[in-house]
Amino acid sequence: MSPFGTRLHAAITDRGPFCVGIDPHAGLLHEWGLADDVAGLERFALTVVEAVAPYASVVKPQSAFYERFGSRGVAVLERVVADSRAAGALVLMDVKRGDIGSTSQAYADAYLDPASPLASDAITASPFLGFGSLDPMIDTARTHGAGVFVLALTSNKEGPEFQHARTDSGATVAGTVLDHLRRLNADADPLGSFGAVIGATIGESDEDLAFNGPVLAPGYGAQGGTTADIRRIFGPAAGAVLASSSREVLRLGPDTGAMRDAVRRANDELTA
């Protein structure tokens, strides 16, 4: 399989840079008139896949909303992955895993090895046990043409406590993460496979946000992030940004046409 960065670049060119989060939390199930149980989860998630996966370049299921129902919820997540990929969307599994050694490798095997029923095109990961702790995920991603998006500059209010802290070298933790990604993507063309999670609502940043890799920018849409924010924050690197939203689309369900049209509008706006 070709590298994730190559496939992502082609998908963005073909469909646009909008990423849809498939996040079936209890409040949305209620808004759709569904019970907060496995049957409601399945109806919700597969309806969203039907509506958006043929039109979005990337879909991003948040695994926690499926895991809370146990093994039957994970079985629904497996369907979301398989059906989304069959519809032509890349799947970015939002798991934010981070551990060391054999445990890190086990996470990599679960989400990046094609032998797994949860195998996705890319995952999110946490580097705060040290960037080297992600080596099993990075190596497995390379082996299977997958991608890893590493937390760098998130927009939650607690983030700066760690991300803006300074290392012994004087660089920020976020800047150090971006430097690691820059090295991993150094020789990639047209785009590296190792990305960063950088919020669409972070405001100004002194960090160099160009690292030849993709950016997942949550917070677009209902959380306040705009197309103008994407362009202002990322500048010349904006073409590699996946603007991500869930509620902006999901609140329109169960009307599949309305969700589909929301994806098309977002892609049109982001690529204008």
Give catalytic residues, as residue numbers. Answer: 96
**The pLDDT of residue 160:** 86
pLDDT classification of 105: cutoffs 50, 70, 90: very high
Q: What are the pLDDT digits (tens) for 206-244?
A: 889 999 999 999 999 877 789 999 999 999 899 999 999
**Domain-wise residue ranges, the chain:** 4-271
Confidence of residue 202 (pLDDT cuts 50, 70, 90): confident
Instruction: Specify burial of residue 240 (Cβ count, 10 A radius: 0-12, 13-18, 19+).
Output: buried
Asked if residue 156 has pLDDT above 80, the reply is yes
Q: Return the CATH number of 4-271, one of 3.40.50.12280, 3.20.20.70, 3.40.50.720, 3.20.20.80.
A: 3.20.20.70
pLDDT at 30: 97
E-assigned strand segments in the chain: 18-22, 58-61, 90-97, 122-125, 147-153, 194-198, 215-218, 241-245
pLDDT band at 155 (very low <50, low <70, confident <90, very high): confident
Residue 204 has pLDDT above 90, yes or no: no
Q: Is the dihedral of CA 82, 88, 89, 93 positive or negative?
A: positive
Residue 260 has pLDDT above 80, yes or no: yes
- What tens digit of pLDDT does each residue of 43-95 get? 999 999 999 999 999 999 999 999 999 999 999 999 999 999 999 999 999 99
Which band of pLDDT confidence, cut at 50, 70 and 90, is reported for residue 205? confident
Confidence class of residue 6 from pLDDT cuts 50, 70 and 90? very high
